[in-house]
């Protein structure tokens, strides 16, 4: 399936979330939107307790997937990739980002299913 993770992160109220930075102990909004790809890459790159004994090949696969998503544009995902993203988004993202990521993937999966079934 093809997914565009360059999608902006939309807040619960429907507004686009802006990046922030701290300047002299103040949070300043930047004129740059947060995109889902950034959250996914961070989640896939996390160092989680359950991954301590993870097979090195699996870690390398996660790394390769994060690199592919980081490149931008449309990412071709396998069912296994989609499942991995959902899993790590649940572990490493905010509730908002996790929900938006899962809904995006599932909307693409739904469209693919409809296309395949008729």
Q: Return per-residue pLDDT of the chain as tens, 118 residues.
A: 999 999 999 999 999 999 999 999 999 989 999 999 999 999 999 989 888 888 899 999 999 999 999 998 899 999 999 999 999 999 999 999 999 999 999 999 888 777 777 6
End-to-end CA distance of the chain: 17
Phi/psi at 4 (nearest 5 deg)?
A: -100, 100
Phi/psi at 73 (nearest 5 deg)?
A: 75, -155
Q: Does the global pTM surpass 0.95?
A: no
Residue 26 in any domain: the answer is no
Give the pLDDT of residue 54.
87
For residue 19, give the H/E element and its range.
strand 18-23
Q: Find the domain containing 42 and state its range.
A: 2-7+34-116
Q: Which residue has the tokens 């490149």?
A: 71
Residue 40 in any domain: the answer is yes
User: What is the number of domains present in the chain?
Assistant: 1
Residue 69 in any domain: the answer is yes
Residue 52 in any domain: the answer is yes
Residue 23 in any domain: the answer is no
């Amino acid at each position: 399936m093809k997914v565009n993770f360059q999608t902006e992160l939309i807040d619960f109220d429907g507004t686009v979330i802006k990046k922030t930075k701290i300047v002299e102990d103040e949070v300043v909004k930047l004129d740059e939107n947060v995109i889902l790809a950034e959250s996914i890459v961070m989640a896939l790159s996390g160092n989680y307790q359950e991954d301590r004994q993870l097979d090195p090949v699996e870690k390398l696969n996660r790394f390769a997937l994060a690199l592919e998503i980081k490149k931008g544009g449309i990412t071709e995902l396998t069912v296994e990739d989609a499942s991995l993203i959902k899993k790590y988004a649940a572990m490493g993202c905010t509730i908002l980002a996790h929900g938006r990521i899962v809904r995006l993937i599932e909307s693409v999966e739904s469209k693919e299913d409809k296309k395949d079934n008729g």
